[in-house]
Amino acid sequence: MTQQTTTAPPQEAKIKTEGNALVLRAKELKVATAEQFREAAEFKRIIREYRKRVSDFMDPRIDAANKLHKSLTRGKKELDLPAAEAEKIVDAELGRYNADEERKAKEEQARLQAQAKKDQEDAALRQAQSVSEAGDQATADRILDQATEAGTVPAVSVAPATPKVEGLYFVEEYGFVIKDPALVPMEYRTIDEKKIGGVVRATKGTVKIPGVEVTVTKKPRQRTVAAKDQPQEDGL
């Protein structure tokens, strides 16, 4: 006869079931009388006890997982650091070479464009002189005007001589440097909410900050009270 063993439900599932029950009970909660107020306060104490059990159950796991994650992350960083430094150096050299080739290409393109413009103007001048000598000065003037008009010179394109390497390409990354903070429009300035919050809490709203309204919200808190020390009167 095969012996069957019954596996008890995991503690996590049990805690989760209790938590779901708390939510259902909370949704039915109505506080309209002093008695209901006391009952709600007692229910809050039960919720706090539940949350403590959750912390007691999960925190050791989380702590162990965090330590493992930090250890593995640190190990990965240590292993990757030399390669990252090497790649940074290589990228800088590749970028420098490519930028130099782009500069040379632009300079050559500008030179060829200027030469093409000069060649066109020289050819137009010779043609205009020939037409003028033939007695047609109006046509000669028109030829010279057309030769000097913008956009009449064919565009010249020179590609950088950077070698084509399979899988390697360059992307443009845009950055910025603040030259004069006073000139930056307000929509690009970030309000330091953390600093404002720190001042408001530290001074309890006594320090007035222009453009900031201090709000006060009372939230219930509950100290841990032993059963024998719990108040029996109507007040909390």
Per-residue pLDDT of 55-95, as tens digits, reads 999 999 999 999 999 999 999 999 999 999 999 999 999 99
Task: Please give the mean pLDDT across all residues of the chain.
Answer: 86
Tokens of 215: 């709000």
Q: Is the pTM of this model over 0.75?
A: no
Quick one: DSSP state of residue 2?
P
pLDDT tens-digit readout, 155-195: 888 999 999 999 999 998 888 888 998 999 988 889 999 99
Rounded CA separation 232/234 (Å): 7
Residue with tokens 């080739």: 101
128 class by beta-carbon count within 10 Å (0-12 exposed, 13-18 middle, 19+ buried): buried
| DSSP-derived 3-state class of residue 189 | coil
**Dist. CA 170–CA 13, nearest whole Å:** 52
Structure confidence at residue 109 (pLDDT): 92
> Which own/partner contact pairs does 220-225 have at CB distance under 8 Å and 24+ positions apart?
220/41, 220/44, 222/41, 222/44, 222/45, 222/48, 224/48, 225/45
CA distance 53 to 15: 8
Question: pLDDT > 70: what percent of the chain?
Answer: 89
